[in-house]
Chain A
Amino acid sequence: MPPACRPGTAAAAAAVVGVAVFLALRGYAQTAGASRPADEAPPLLGPRVRAWYKGVLAPFEDQLAAWGVRPDLLTYAQLGVSVLAGAAFWVGWIFVAGWLTILAGTLDILDGGVARRNGAAGPRGALIDSVVDRYAEFATFLGLGAFFRDSWVLLAVAVAAFTSLMVSYTRARAEALGVALSAGRAQRPERYVVLGFGAWLSGLVAHLACPVLGHPTHVVLAAAVVLLAALSAWTALARARLAFQALGGGAA
């Protein structure tokens, strides 16, 4: 059972996160933005943010590639971490669940990077990655749904889970029909950031506001889930519209 109120620890965690954000902004300011072709619906995390995070991960990719770690192993580790994140949400360890969600997102980026460095990137790895990603998302949403089982937020969790799957399904189906479809505001990194940082912030606010309110509150996590559902629904519908236009808009 989670302890009721730990505002001192939450204040220390907020200070550590603040220092990390300061150092991250310094690194971000020194990162040149990678140019990419203009999409109709570019992702919310722009190329400069992605380039900065890849720069942070580059030494780890080098090390993992030097150790000969297989990218598949990282993909399965991502699934394991996502299951743990779901379990943490389920039992109410919200801050830890946010940490695990961000770690899962990082492993999702690392597996592709290590595969490219090892020259192991190929259709088999891409298939394993896509399939495991869906199970990983389901595990996290299952735990989130269990946490909000007595609240209206459960509906938002269900919408977020369904629309997140639809974002990926629409792209896969369109690509099977010969339409390249990489555009979309809320892709997987954006979804990890909204849920992971939403859970972090919710954990901090819950413990900092606890002495005033008398009990922990997770309104911030509820807001993050609603935002995630809205962004994913928007992205899935935008992708479907783009695919429909690319296919000529004729009869089905």
Chain B
Amino acid sequence: MSSAPGGKSRPLGFLLLVLGLGVRMDSGWDVVAWLLIGAGAATAASGLWALVRPRTREAFVPRRAGE
């Protein structure tokens, strides 16, 4: 099963982002739409960041002497 970092925030952010864009397309509720788009983008971005962050951390692991 999925245990990748950001495993909850990526799908959640995507869902909020798509809902916000949908509300903007289908209705005149622009304030609600922009709130959803902002929340979704931030959540999805944090999930994507969590996905790439472990790789960048590995570069800072100090090498032991003699390796």
Contacts and interface: CB of A to CB of B under 8 A. Distances in A.
A10 B25 contact: yes
A59 interface: yes
B27 A12 contact: no
Given A27-B2, A58-B2, A99 B18 contact: yes
A58 B22 CA distance: 26
B8 A99 contact: no
Interface stretch (A15-23, A40-48, A139-147, A150-158): A15-23
Interface residues of B, number: 20
Interface size class, chain A = 20 to 34
Main secondary structure on B side of the interface with A? helix
B42 interface: no
A1 interface: yes
B10 A203 contact: no
A93 B23 CA distance: 8
A135 interface: no
B19 A99 contact: yes
A55 B2 contact: yes
Interface of B: 1-3, 7-8, 10-11, 14-15, 17-19, 21-28
